[in-house]
Chain A
């Protein structure tokens, strides 16, 4: 049993309107030292597989095909083993 953690971020160089909006809001609050805000998504999933290799393969597949849109987003993922009991 594994737990997968996936970060999905807009690709570098592509306009991120939400990140820009947050950046603007922070600036208006007086935080001049904060810049380059990019906003993404975070997912946690449980994978009921026994083999670590299988878990990695599955995690990458769902990250690539569902959780992210590869045209405008990139992802990175981590795994940790969970004691099923």
Chain B
């Protein structure tokens, strides 16, 4: 499977993403500079974490207008897989490829630590290698991870199984104490209606080897690889 890692000015988790899919998981992968206009050679795209355009205006607000985003939209429209991690998630939200928006963390602190997330929907191309309710230990490092969507949209998302990950305690309970940033309904990751675009604030690419403290992030990439290898149906919106 060939992954394309989009690099915006200010992205800084691109190397970790490429290392995870290429060196740890043995897939093909390449960097994609944000001026590129053709992405057909890839099976999946990763929008990595970092501080694209310095988080100026709003996190991801300027990256949404980068030249490569026209091709990313097209890629997503064709039903191919797009995963946005941290700042990548923010870019997808600003670009309207995922519903909702990010606010500043409720305690106004940049939070940099391990967090637990619970898999809410294991029937997706991003979570099929996980069990429903499985707890993953993944690092978070963000200032704007406080997810928001208007109540009616949130209800619809819940009904359609678009909430993929929620922050939880080590034993899988969701409560205010285990929500690091005040995110609405403890939401840590969401998917689009079509099921091919996924955004999450935690960093699975930093949790692919036990040496780094957790290998729980592998399951997300392994799900994508398994889905692609099995040639499972694509949704074209």
Is the Cβ of B94 less than 8 Å from the Cβ of A69?
A: yes
Known: A66-B61, A71-B149, A71-B150. A15 touches B101 (CB 8 A): no
A17 contacts B148, C-beta separation under 8 Å: no
Which one of A18, A21, A72 contacts B148 once the chains associate, using CB atoms below 8 Å? Answer: A72
Closest residue of chain B to A39 (Cβ to Cβ) is B104
Mostly, the B contact residues are loop
Does B2 make an interface contact (CB < 8 A)?
Answer: no
Q: Is B58 within 8 A of A17, CB to CB?
A: no
The tally of CB-CB contacts under 8 A between chains A and B is 37
Set A10, A16, A71: member contacting B100, Cβ < 8 A: A71
Q: Which chain A residue has the least Cβ–Cβ distance from B93? A: A71
Report yes or no: A17 in contact with B106, Cβ–Cβ below 8 A: yes
B101 touches A21 (CB 8 A): no
Q: How far is the CA of A34 from the CA of B61 in the complex (A)?
A: 32
Tell which of A15, A67, A69, A71 touches B106, judged by Cβ atoms closer than 8 Å: A15
Q: Mark A39-58, 1 if CB is under 8 A from B, else 0.
A: 00000000000000000000
- The complex places the Cα of A41 from the Cα of B101 at a distance, in Å, of 17
Number of interface residues of B (CB under 8 A): 19
The contact of A66 among B57, B103, B105, B107, by CB within 8 Å, is B57
Extra contacts besides A15-B148, A17-B103, A66-B57 (20): CB < 8 Å: A14-B103, A14-B148, A15-B182, A17-B105, A17-B106, A17-B146, A17-B182, A18-B104, A18-B108, A21-B108, A66-B61, A66-B65, A67-B57, A69-B61, A69-B101, A71-B93, A71-B101, A71-B148, A71-B150, A72-B103
List the 7 shortest-distance A-B pairs measured between CB atoms, nearest first.
A71-B101, A72-B101, A17-B104, A17-B106, A21-B108, A69-B101, A17-B108
Q: What are 22 A-to-B residue pairs whose CB atoms are below 8 Å?
A: A10-B103, A15-B103, A15-B106, A15-B146, A17-B106, A17-B107, A17-B146, A18-B104, A21-B108, A66-B57, A69-B58, A69-B61, A69-B94, A69-B101, A71-B93, A71-B100, A71-B148, A71-B149, A71-B150, A72-B101, A72-B103, A72-B148
Taking beta carbons and an 8 Å cutoff, which residues of B are in contact with A? 57-58, 61, 65, 93-94, 100-101, 103-108, 146, 148-150, 182
